[in-house]
Amino acid sequence: MNVFNSVINSLLSAYSAMVSWAPAAAGFAVIAALTGVVMLLVFRKLSDQERIGAAKRKVQAHLLELRIFRDEPAVMWRAQGALMKHNLRYLGLMLQPALVLALPITLLLVHLDAFYGRAPLEIGQPAIVTLAMKRPLDPAAPAPQLIAPAGVAVETPAVRALDLREVSWRIRPLRRVSGKLQFIVNGRTVVKDIEAGPGARFVPGRRVSSAFEGLWHPDEPLIAAPGIEWIDIRHPDSSMRLFGVGMDWTVWFIVLAMIAGLLLKKPLRVTF
């Protein structure tokens, strides 16, 4: 799965470079529409199109029967029972390809969140950086150290939350930055990407040490240093504005992917 994450991140980095000349909404619409087309093709491959079409026709026939024979109770009851049976059959046929598609689509959305869900830190605005340890902190031991790249000021010493096993600092970007924060913990150095300044781009989220957590936080390699659980920067949330309406980017993504699928279902001969 880590190989999958690396491949996706490489593709997203290339995608980011390709669409950097265009408005963010344009690249977003393209990748959402392409995802809808790919989902359509995969659905056609994985599903039993003939049985889905037959079940759909049966449902439509019984709906028509309910309208025509609404004054005949016996026919209505029989039609309702048949309608429920064929509806369940139709849903069952749709469920299998939907479940297969759910995992890759979820992972794709997790990766895209680094590009559309988070914004770079704002220049001149403070932000909190937190490092979490796997074991309780020793108050008598030296605190971890944070070294920021040029253009980022570290405004506070390390503040330890012993109950939470966390160490936090307040930082402030002074100019546009694409660099790495360095953390020195027990003599070992661990880095965390930082992005600040205007412009939509790839903004990594939390860096983690667990392979399972890495599925949902795949933007950077897993932390190899022992004792560190995760490192996080509180980035501002980003929203997507299309057609004059601002909404969470995942809502727009699903809407655009569905529109692309509906427009192309007949040309691609897909039944659902």
% of the chain beyond a pLDDT of 70: 91
Instruction: Determine the distance from the C-alpha atom of residue 121 to the mean position of all C-alpha atoms in its chain, rounded to a whole number.
Output: 19
Q: What are the pLDDT digits (tens) for 224-252?
A: 988 999 999 999 888 777 777 777 888 88
Least confident range from 60-74, 88-102, 117-131: namely 60-74
Same domain flag for 87 and 158: no
Q: What is the pLDDT of residues 167-226, one digit of tens each?
A: 999 999 999 999 999 999 988 999 999 999 988 788 999 999 998 898 888 889 999 988
Query: In the chain, pLDDT over 90 holds for what percent of residues?
Result: 33
The confidence band for 23, taking pLDDT boundaries of 50, 70 and 90, is low
- The Cα 144–Cα 239 span in angstroms is 34
Pairing of strands 127-133, 166-173: antiparallel
pLDDT value for 106: 87
Residues 6+ apart with CB under 8 A from 60: none
Secondary structure (H, E, C), 169-223: EEEEECCCEEEEEEEEECCEEEEEEEEECCCCCCCCCCEECCHHHHHHCCCCCCC
**What pLDDT shows up at residue 66?**
78
The Cα–Cα gap between 225 and 251 comes to 37
Question: Are 101 and 15 part of one and the same domain?
Answer: yes
User: Is residue 240 a part of any domain in this protein?
Assistant: no
196 inside domain: yes
Class of residue 102 by CB neighbours under 10 A (exposed 0-12, middle 13-18, buried 19+): exposed
Tell me what the mean pLDDT of segment 151-172 comes to. Answer: 95
- Whether the per-residue pLDDT at 97 is higher than 50: the answer is yes
Closest to 236 in 3D by CA, of 120, 123, 151 = 120
CA–CA separation, 222 vs 8, rounded Å?
A: 15
Assess whether 88 and 138 both reside in one domain: no
List, in sequence order, the alpha helices (H) in the chain: 2-19, 24-46, 49-68, 73-116, 211-216, 249-264
Please tell me whether residues 255 and 225 are part of one structural domain: no
74 with 141, same domain: the answer is: no
Is the separation of the CB atoms in 165 and 136 below 8 Å? yes
Looking at residue 239, its pLDDT comes to 74
Quickly state the pLDDT bin for 18 (edges 50, 70, 90): very low
Q: Is residue 272 part of a domain?
A: no
- Parent domain of 215: 127-233
Residue 180 lies in a domain: yes
Are residues 186 and 251 located together in one domain of the fold? Answer: no
191 in a structural domain: yes
Together in a domain, 69 and 141: no
Q: Give pLDDT, residue 11.
A: 55
- Say how far apart CA 179 and CA 238 lie, in whole Å: 20
Q: 36 and 97 share a domain?
A: yes
Q: How confident is the model at residue 21 (pLDDT cuts 50, 70, 90)?
A: very low
Give pLDDT, residue 265: 87
- Does 136 score more than 50 pLDDT? yes
pLDDT tier for residue 55 given thresholds of 50, 70 and 90: confident
Q: What is the mean pLDDT of the chain?
A: 85
pLDDT greater at residue 155 or residue 247 = 155
Q: Give residue 150's pLDDT.
A: 94
Q: Please check whether residues 160 and 93 belong to one and the same domain.
A: no
How many structural domains compose the chain? Answer: 2
Whether 21 and 66 map to the same domain: the answer is yes
In angstroms, rounded to a whole number, what is the distance separating the alpha carbons of residues 259 and 1?
30
Q: What is the pTM of this model?
A: 0.74
> How does residue 19 score in pLDDT terms, banded at 50, 70 and 90?
very low
185, 160 Cβ separation under 8 angstroms? no
Q: pLDDT class for 12, splitting at 50, 70, 90?
A: low
Q: What is the mean pLDDT of residues 92-105?
A: 87
Nearest to 162 by CA among 129, 183, 132: 132
Q: Is residue 13 domain-shared with residue 63, that is, in the same domain?
A: yes
Instruction: Give the per-residue pLDDT at 206.
Output: 94
What would the DSSP string read from start to end of 39-57? HHHHHHHHS-HHHHHHHHH
- In angstroms, the CA 227 to CA 56 distance is 56
